[in-house]
Structure 1
Amino acid sequence: MSVVVAVRGGWEGHRPVEATDRYVAKLREQGHEVVTSETLDTYLDAELLRRADLIVHCWTMGTATAEQIAGLAAAVRAGTGLGGWHGGLIDSFRASPDYQRITGGQFVHHPAEFVTYDVTPIGSHPVVAGIGPFTVHTERYQVHVDPAIEVHAVTAVDGHAVPVVWTTRFGAGRVFVTTVGHELKDLEVPEHDEIIMRGLSWASR
């Protein structure tokens, strides 16, 4: 049985508690021990993080201390996985390049209104293998990314392929990211829900 730590908070518009509760329930059904937290001081708890196989981070914007980010970085570098979706993972702590080095990308822009767009999985990585293209109507993130990430799904913006789903590694830790997830309904799209569950499983130690 693995240990999962779900850290949630920040901007309430992304419904961090409700969104993470969706996956906390699924992970518990699979037999995992899940610890939930509404404080970033969780990243100062070295003993808990040593036990953790996976961190689900859902904290939009906000500010973390250098010590909190260092605690998270140390855990992932040592092998604890990290996963999440949308602004809860890649719009956290905008002023912290050290945090962005862990996730491999950072939100930079979305159109003012919701957009209907196609998400196209690519390649045969376990996170997307066998999943076909699907359509969402939500915020469409444009991101700055580390060239070292491995992209597993894209969408077209002005003729360019923009990453939607990717994985990366930070030290010994695996990191899973999807940019979709502004509303709870975005997590309920079957293909996207499956990608998230696979991504969290892949990232786990």
Structure 2
Amino acid sequence: MRRALVVRGGWEGHAPVEATELFIPGLADAGFSVTVTGDLDVYRDERLPAETDLIVQCWTGGTLTEEQEAGLVSAVQAGTGFAGWHGGVVATFGGSRDYLRMVGGLFLHHPEDFLTYDVAIAPARSDHPIVAGLSGFTVETEQYWMLTDAHNDVLATTEYAASESAPPVSMPVVWTRQWGRGRVFFSAIGHRLADLQDPAVHELTLRGLLWASR
């Protein structure tokens, strides 16, 4: 049986407990034994992260100690999958350079109000198992502006409208990433439970979690 470790906590505005509970049944149905913790010191454990096939993190804000960061990153480099969504991955641990390099993005900004925007599947990646058979869809939620890098395999994007400050820009919404022997999955959608309960978002996210597993 494969093992999944759900690490949840931080800012309660992203409902880390309720959000992760939406995906635990899907992990169990896929054959995972699921362990849940609200303690970042689990990343310091010398055995559990390394013996885990998938880490699902939903932890907005806060900091990692050097020991916590080293334990997490080394586990992923050795083959443990890492996956999550929204601020639980890219709006957290901003002072941890190795962590940010591993996940491949850092949240910078979103418009003050929720926006209705389209999410387009990248045509060149439409056969990827996370998005295969899925069509583009529309959401009404926060639209994340992030710093990213070229190591990301972008599976879906959104268009940021022009503003007084900047011309239009394409922004990644879903990406995967290889870090050492470990797979990384991230989706920018998930500010509210309703976002994650949207059928298209839920299907895409659960596929991403399963894909990232060792």
Query: What's the TM-score once normalised by structure 2's chain length?
Result: 0.93
Which region of structure 1 is more displaced relative to structure 2, 70-79 or 91-100? 91-100
Q: Secondary structure at the match of 2:191?
A: coil
Q: Secondary structure at the match of 2:23?
A: helix
Name 1:32's counterpart in structure 2: 32
Give the partner amino acid of 1:164. V
Q: Distance in 2 between matches of 1:126 and 1:25?
A: 20
Which region of structure 1 is more displaced relative to structure 2, 67-76 or 18-27? 18-27
TM-fit CA distance, 1:31: 2.5
Name 1:196's counterpart in structure 2: 205
Q: Distance in 2 between matches of 1:30 and 1:79?
A: 19
Q: Secondary structure at the match of 1:163?
A: strand
Give the partner amino acid of 1:79. G
Q: 1:80-103 deviations in whole A, cap 9, x for unaligned?
A: 000000000111111222210110
8 Å contact 2:27–2:210 — kept in the other structure? no
Q: Secondary structure at the match of 2:82?
A: strand
Q: Does 1:187 align with 2:196?
A: yes
Q: Percent of counterpart pairs with the same letter?
A: 50
Shift >6 Å, 4+ stretches:
none
Q: Does 1:142 align with 2:151?
A: no
Which region of structure 1 is more displaced relative to structure 2, 69-78 or 157-166? 157-166
Query: What's the TM-score once normalised by structure 1's chain length?
Result: 0.98
Which structure 1 residue ranges, 5 or more long, are not aligned? Answer: none
Which structure 2 residue ranges, 5 or more long, are not aligned? Answer: 162-167
Name 1:130's counterpart in structure 2: 133
Q: Distance in 2 between matches of 1:98 and 1:32?
A: 28
Report the count of equivalent residues: 205
Name 2:99's counterpart in structure 1: 99
Equivalent of residue 153 in structure 1, options 156, 161, 169: 156
Q: CA RMSD in A?
A: 0.9
Q: 1:98-132 deviations in whole A, cap 9, x for unaligned?
A: 21011011111000111111111112211111110
Q: Secondary structure at the match of 2:25?
A: helix
